[in-house]
A = this chain, B = another copy of it.
Amino acid sequence: MTSAFQKIEEANAEAVDRMLSGDPVLVDVVPAAQAIPNLRDRMILHAGPMIEWEHMCGPMRGAITGIAVFEGWAADLAEAERMSAAGAFDFWPNHDFDAVGPMTGMTTAGQFVMVVENRAFGNRAYCTVNEGLGKVMRFGGNDAEVRSRLAWLRDEFAPAMGRALRLSNGIALKPLVARGLTMGDEMHQRNAAGTGLVLRALAPALAATARNSGTLSRALSFIAGNDQFFLNIAMAMGKAIMDPVRGIEASSVVTAMTRNGTDFGIRVSGTGDAWFTAPVEMPEGLYFPGYTEDDANPDMGDSTIVETIGLGGFAMAAAPAVAGFVGAGAASEAVEFTRRMGEISCASNPEWTIPILDYVGVPTGIDVRLVVETGLAPTINTGIAHKNPGIGQVGAGVVRAPLACFEQALRALAARLGVS
- Residues of A near any B CB (own CB < 8 A): 179, 182-184, 192-193, 195-197, 199-201, 203-205, 207-208, 210, 213, 216-218, 220-221, 223-224, 320-321, 323-324, 330-332, 355-359
Contact = CB atoms under 8 A, between A and B. Distances in A.
Given A182-B184, A183-B184, A207 B200 contact: no
A192 B27 CA distance: 24
Number of copies of this kind of chain in the complex: 2
A332 B357 contact: yes
B199 A193 contact: no
19 contacts: A182-B321, A183-B192, A193-B193, A196-B200, A199-B200, A200-B223, A200-B224, A203-B220, A204-B220, A204-B224, A205-B217, A207-B207, A207-B220, A210-B213, A330-B358, A331-B355, A331-B356, A332-B356, A356-B356
A230 to B, nearest CB: 12
Contacts of A199: 196, 199-200, 203, 224
Interface SS majority for chain A: helix
A200 B226 CA distance: 10
Nearest to A320: B355
Considering the complex of A and B, which 10 residue pairs feature the smallest CB-CB distances, nearest first? Answer: A196-B196, A200-B224, A320-B355, A204-B221, A203-B220, A207-B217, A331-B355, A182-B321, A321-B355, A207-B216
A330 B354 CA distance: 12
Given A355-B320, A356-B331, A193 B183 contact: yes
Nearest to A193: B183
A224 B201 contact: yes
A332 B320 contact: no
Contacts of A221: 203-204
Contacts of A359: 331
B203 A208 contact: no
Contacts of A358: 330-332
Contacts of A218: 204
